[in-house]
Each structure stands twice: as structure tokens, then as C-alpha cells.
Amino acid sequence: MRAKKALPILLTSAMLFGSAPSSVPIPNLVSKVEAATVSVPYVKPEIIQEQWAVGDYVDSIGNVVKDAAENVGFKTSKSEPGTLVIELRKKEYCCWESIRTSTGTPRALLYAEPYRLDGRDGYATKVTDTLHLAMDYMNRDSKEDFYLRLSFYVENPDSDHTYWLAFLGSNARNSYYYKAYFYPNVNLVPLTSTERDQYIKGQSINIGSNSGNNTGSNTSNKPTTPNTERKPTIPKLNVKYIGRLVIKSNNVFMYNSKGKVHRKLRKNEDVRVYAVQKDRYLVGDGYYVKKSDSVSYYVGTIYSKKGDMIIYTPKGKPYKKIKGKQKLKVYSTKNNVYQVGGGYYVRPESNIVFQR
């Protein structure tokens, strides 16, 4: 790793979780066993090869170090719910022994985009939370054979079905050796560690059910049937910036990295945004604009290259037709649709063109 990358990566780990594993309470996700049982039929997993993304490191005041941050991700072959199992074995990670002996539980999450790259932080879009995670300490009594098994239930898969790991050391390639498996349309999180072991070794499992405590897809005696219909997805755009600001008044300022006013922005001015932080939009070269009601952030625009574009209500009913070539601002791409304001949305059909 080049010298210029070392400091940002260390700082990233510190900002993520501190210098040692931080403890957060993880609720008991195992359902109580009652008279009825639920069958979890064995599904052969897809073996996943880890991949790495490299991007700019952006510090808290907007300073940018080019190509100084990286993050590990896992891409499944389809956009479908299921359990992503990631095994971590020590390579060079400094605090591995602290994880093995700690009485606390380090935090682990999956994100929709590479974590800590290009200014994304803990407020970025998450794919999972602590309720969709099971963490198993495997061979914990053996310093040599210990490894960590993370099981994430992906309930709402995103459009490109690539999931980026936020965990101690996940921002450095030399931290771990990874093995990853994806079990489609199966939720292994509510199982016990022993039951997960049995399932991963190829055994179907019977577990207790009690009126929906076992969340996810394991909720009936019938095997789940994968949804083979291919739905259109939102394309990834090959541009550095992630959105734009529209300036709505003449009292908005751009600040430099030292917090001093750089210049006043004009009403209706359009400004590219490279990263979003808690209280500001980073607009490049260390400059930023503070969040306020006087600015409007959007992620791009859409138009129909052929035929009409249909806007749907928040309840999924057709609301209005927009003539071809007429552009609409998009404020989010959450749930694999173009959110155009007020909960109304446009579906990513083949005739819809998305631009930053």
C-alpha cells in the first residue's frame, strides 16, 4: 500500500469503531421453541468472491486524498433476498486477538455503496442492521483456529446486489482472508450457532415458530421458491460526483476547508456534490455548502427516450403521465425506483434515461 493511503485508512478505522472493538448490545434473535416446527430446507449456496473498491478519502472538514480509501464488497449473481455468510480469518489485522477474547460484540453492517469512500460515512444507505446479523465466534478457545462467521440477512436487496462490509479492518486488504457464501431466499439469522453449523454442512433444519418471531423467509413448512423474474434496475453512472445542489436563495455561501466563506452562491445556481456528510455537502477541493432549507439536493434527472413516463403514487397506483424528453429531478433511488418527491416515484423501465 502506498504511503499516502496509510494515514486515511487508519483514521477511517478509528472513526468507524475506535482503536479497539466497541461493544454494542445485539438482541437475542433465536425464537423460543414451541410445539410447532418450521422446516428450513437446505439450499446450495452461491460461492462469492470478495471484490475491492478504491475511492477518495474525505476527512471531516472536506479535505480530499485521491484514491486513498478502499472497502471490501460481495456481489451475488441475482438481486434476491437471502443470507450472506462471510467468514473472516486473520491475515494481518492488528486487533484480532482482542476480538477473540472480548466480552463485547463488534459492530458489523452491510452498506449499499463502498463504505468510507468518497465521503460516505455512517449515514450512508445501509442494507442491514443489527437485527439482520448473527455473529458466531468459531473455535474461540483456539488462538490458531479461531475465525469469525458473520451471517447477514438481506431482506431488501438493492439494484446491483453488491454489499459492502463495514467492520473492523474491512478497509484494508491485508486484514483478513475471506470466504463468502450466499443462500438465496433463506434466513439463517434466527438459527442458533449450532443450527447454522448444521445447515452450512448441508442439513435441513427444523426450528420452533411462535406467531412470526422467526423473521425472514423461513416462515412456512413449504420451501421458498426463488423469484426468477428479472426486474429492470437503476444503472450505475460512471461519474465522480453523486448529485447536485440547486440554490434557492441569494443567502447561501460556499466555505473553504478552514470554515471561511469562499463566495456567495447565486439563486438557481447548480452545484455538483461529491459527498454528503452530516451537516454539509462536499462540493470538491475541500469546499462545502451547509445544509439548509435554502438548498435542494437531488441525485440526478430522468426522462423517457421513447413514449410516456409514468409517475406512481406512494401506494403504487399510476398518477400521471409525463411526455417523452421532459425531465424530472430525482431525489433518491431508494427501493430501486426513482423517487421524485412526496413519495411519488418512477420505475426504472428500459425507456427511462437516468443522468447526473
- Is the pLDDT assigned to residue 209 strictly greater than 70? no
- pLDDT tens across 226-279, in order? 443 455 777 777 778 889 999 999 999 999 999 999 999 999 898 999 988 888
Give the predicted TM-score (pTM) of the model. 0.53
State the pLDDT at residue 319: 86
pLDDT at 99: 92
One-letter amino acid of 290: K
Closest by CA position to 292, among listed 312, 265, 322? 265
Average pLDDT over residues 138-151: 94
Predicted confidence at residue 213, as pLDDT, reads 37
Minimal CA–CA distance to 74: which of 106, 54, 46?
46
Mean pLDDT (whole number) for 177-186:
95
So what's the pLDDT on residue 38? 55
Question: Which pLDDT belongs to residue 231?
Answer: 58
Q: What is the residue whose three cell numbers read 456567495? A: 264
Report the pLDDT value the prediction gives residue 264, as an integer from 0 to 100. Answer: 93
**Residue 317 pLDDT:** 85
Beta strands at 287-290 and 309-312: parallel, antiparallel or unpaired: unpaired
SS3 per-residue string spanning the chain: CCHHHHHHHHHHHHHHHCCCCCCCCCCCCCCCCCCCEEEECCCCCEEECEEEEEEEEECCCCCEEEEEEEEEEEECCCCCCEEEEEEEEECCCCCHHHHHHCCCCCCCEEECCCCCCCCCCCCCCECCCHHHEEEEEECCCCCCCCEEEEEEEECCCCCCCEEEEECCCCCCCCCEEEEEEEEECCCCCCCCHHHHHHHHCCCCEEEECCCCCCCCCCCCCCCCCCCCCCCCCCCCCCCCCCEEEEECCCCEEEECCCCCEEEEECCCCEEEECEEECCEEEEECCEEEECCCCEEEECEEEEECCCCEEEECCCCCEEEEECCCCCEEECECHHHCEEEECCEEECCCCCEEEEC
Least confident of 9-23, 195-209, 274-288: 9-23
Q: What does the pLDDT average to over 194-218?
A: 66
Mean confidence (pLDDT) of the chain? 80
Strand order in the sheet with 109-111: 50-58, 64-75, 162-166, 109-111
Residue ranges covered by each domain of the chain: 3-208, 243-355
Confidence check: pLDDT of 221 > 70: no
- Please state the rounded mean pLDDT for residues 104-115: 88
What's the average model confidence in pLDDT over 119-148? 86
pLDDT of amino acid 138 = 94
By CB atoms closer than 10 A (0-12, 13-18, 19+), residue 117 is buried
pLDDT value for 233: 76
Amino acid identity for residue 348 in this structure = P
Quick one: pLDDT band at residue 207, thresholds 50, 70, 90?
Answer: low
What pLDDT is attached to residue 121?
A: 73
Beta bridge partners of 310: 321
pLDDT of residue 184: 95
242 or 84: which carries more pLDDT confidence? 84
- The model's pLDDT over 3-44, given as tens digits with 9 standing for 90+, comes to 444 444 444 444 444 433 333 333 333 333 333 445 788 999
Neighbouring residues of 55: CB distance < 8 A, sequence distance ≥ 6? 67, 69, 70, 114, 117, 118
